[in-house]
Amino acid sequence: MDRGGPQCANAAARRNGSDAALPGTPGQGNLNSLTYNLLDGLPTDPEALLKHISDDAEENHGAGSESTTAPHQRAFVTIGDLLRTGGTLPGVDIVPDAVDAAGRHGVAVARTHDGERIEWIFDESTVRLLDERTVLVEDNAWGKAGTVVTSVALIDSGIVDEAGQTNY
């Protein structure tokens, strides 16, 4: 079985020691059977990527599709799948000890683009999102490499009965 990059014809999954071809267009796969070619061709703009995922979910799980999964749920699962397999996305790295704006340590999933690394920092034991931050990896007009230029810590969240309610 060819396990190469862009030349790979089909996506495959190995379960219990057996390989099985995954559905999708040969050489491209689909959002639920990722291949290098598919990942390489996805939009890099976040809004365009969300639209692409949402359109795919509507087409394959919307009215008349005979799917038991609603389109919004399918889009959510697809995004989770992309995060879980993010190590296969070009440029995605793991930062084993990232510190958020509140001083908490966690593990970050990060991607560098145009001299900036965007990190999503997760608590290592609970996997709860702690922070999203942007770190310069090259000197530029915003500062020197290593400078954190944005950091938004999620301190607390919950479900409440009314807007403004803080106890849950």
Is the pLDDT at 59 greater than 60, yes or no?
yes
For tokens 């958020």, the residue is: 100
Q: Are 38 and 16 in contact (CB under 8 A)?
A: no
pTM metric for this prediction:
0.51
For tokens 């059977």, the residue is: 33
- Which residue from 139, 135, 75 is spatially nearest to 111, judged by alpha carbons? 135
- Which residue from 17, 36, 20 is spatially nearest to 85, judged by alpha carbons? 36
- Could you give the CA distance from residue 39 to residue 77 in angstroms, rounded to a whole number? 16
- Could you give the CA distance from residue 80 to residue 74 in angstroms, rounded to a whole number? 10
Is the pLDDT at 164 greater than 90, yes or no?
no
Distances (CA, A) of 132 to 9, 11, 84, 124: 36, 32, 17, 15
DSSP annotation of 141 reads T
Q: Which of 14-18, 27-31, 42-46 has the highest mean predicted lDDT (pLDDT)? A: 42-46
Give the number of other CB atoms < 10 A from CB of residue 146: 10
β-pair type (116-122, 148-153): unpaired
Q: pLDDT for 70-84, tens place per residue? A: 777 777 777 777 766
pLDDT in the model for residue 34: 65
Residues 20-37 have a mean pLDDT of 60
pLDDT in the model for residue 10: 46
